[in-house]
């Protein structure tokens, strides 16, 4: 499967904040606003948000599942979740995948997952075993499609070759960090993705919030990601990118976050960037990516600034 073949909203709503920095009520409000704008692609993981004291993981899946049940809209939402990084369900062995998918299905309140991600590349488990487990679940109808998150180019190519040779379910989409300040995807990994006809849904599309423009010299931001985001200000490129974003945003009557996501959406192989919001106010500029089309000159300006 290539996500470009589906009628998906150009922004994938990240669920990492649900049950963490957005409580159930706030999460429902964000999900409602996203759906009302035409959004239909929600990405979560079984490991969200195990890092919080008192949490065990799966909190985000539970929120998404309860929201779909209350809104009776399961058939209108493409749900993606992941396996491999929850401490109690770590790795990509066949046994772990089998146990983890049942946990995720229960929390999501559904009988199938539209896109099931390998959250990591588990080098300790043969790719044949992992792909065989995914293939069995596809055949059973419990998952519809599979994706590879955080894979390097060589391992992705190897996985695709194994699927072809063994007649197993094939990764159709990748997920990796990619944004105007982190452009490592533009190399061997993107070459494999393009060559195999895959697509990408990048995470950290706003560089942990830096590309929203709220991180400026002398400005304190109240966010759990503030430390890592503000570090970009210490580089030569960071302020230069913000300046270019400001210029393009002004031309569109938009804000930097919208432009940063529009740049990402315009890149080769990208089907839909992933971004999350703790509240509806944060969501609005993300949704606006569906309405912004950058000119060649604007793309070139951003390209030059981010080199």
Maximal CA-CA distance, the chain: 57
Structure tokens at 32: 């409602």
> 148 forms bridges with which residues in the sheet?
118, 174
Instruction: Centre a 10 Å sphere on the Cβ of residue 54 and count the other Cβ atoms it contains.
Output: 5
* DSSP β-ladder status, 12-14 and 274-275: parallel
- DSSP class per residue in 130-188: HHHHHHHHHHHTSEEEEEEES--HHHHHHHHHHHHHHT---EEEEE-B-SSS--TTTTH
Catalytic residue numbers, as ranges? 48
- Which H or E run includes 30? helix 24-36
- The answer to whether the beta carbons of residues 63 and 15 sit under 8 Å apart is yes
């Amino acid at each position: 499967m290539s996500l470009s073949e589906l009628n998906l909203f150009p922004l994938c709503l990240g669920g990492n904040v649900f049950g963490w920095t957005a409580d159930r009520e706030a999460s429902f409000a964000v999900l409602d606003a996203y759906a009302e704008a035409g959004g239909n692609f929600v990405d979560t993981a079984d490991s969200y948000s195990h890092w919080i004291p008192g949490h065990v993981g799966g909190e985000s899946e539970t929120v998404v599942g309860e929201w779909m049940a209350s809104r009776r809209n399961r058939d209108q939402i493409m749900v993606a979740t992941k396996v491999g990084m929850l401490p109690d369900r770590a790795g990509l062995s066949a046994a772990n995948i089998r146990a983890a998918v049942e946990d995720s299905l229960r929390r999501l309140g559904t009988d199938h997952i539209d896109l099931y991600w390998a959250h990591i590349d588990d080098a300790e488990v043969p790719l044949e075993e992992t792909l065989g487990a995914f293939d069995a679940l596809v055949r059973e109808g419990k998952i519809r499609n599979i994706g590879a998150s955080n894979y390097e180019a060589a391992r992705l190519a190897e996985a695709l070759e194994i699927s072809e040779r063994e007649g197993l379910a094939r990764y159709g989409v990748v997920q990796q960090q990619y944004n105007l300040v982190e452009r490592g995807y533009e190399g061997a990994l993107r070459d494999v993705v393009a060559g195999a006809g895959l697509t990408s849904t990048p995470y950290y599309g706003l560089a942990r919030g830096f590309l929203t423009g709220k991180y400026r010299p002398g400005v304190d931001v109240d966010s759990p990601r503030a430390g890592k985001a503000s570090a970009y200000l210490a580089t030569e490129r960071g302020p230069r990118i913000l300046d270019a974003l400001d210029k393009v945003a002004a031309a569109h009557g938009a804000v930097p976050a919208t432009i940063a996501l529009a740049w990402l959406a315009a890149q080769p192989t990208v089907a839909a960037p992933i971004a999350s919001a703790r509240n509806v106010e944060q969501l609005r500029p993300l949704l606006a990516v569906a309405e912004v089309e950058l000119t060649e000159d604007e793309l070139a300006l951003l390209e030059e600034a981010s080199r």
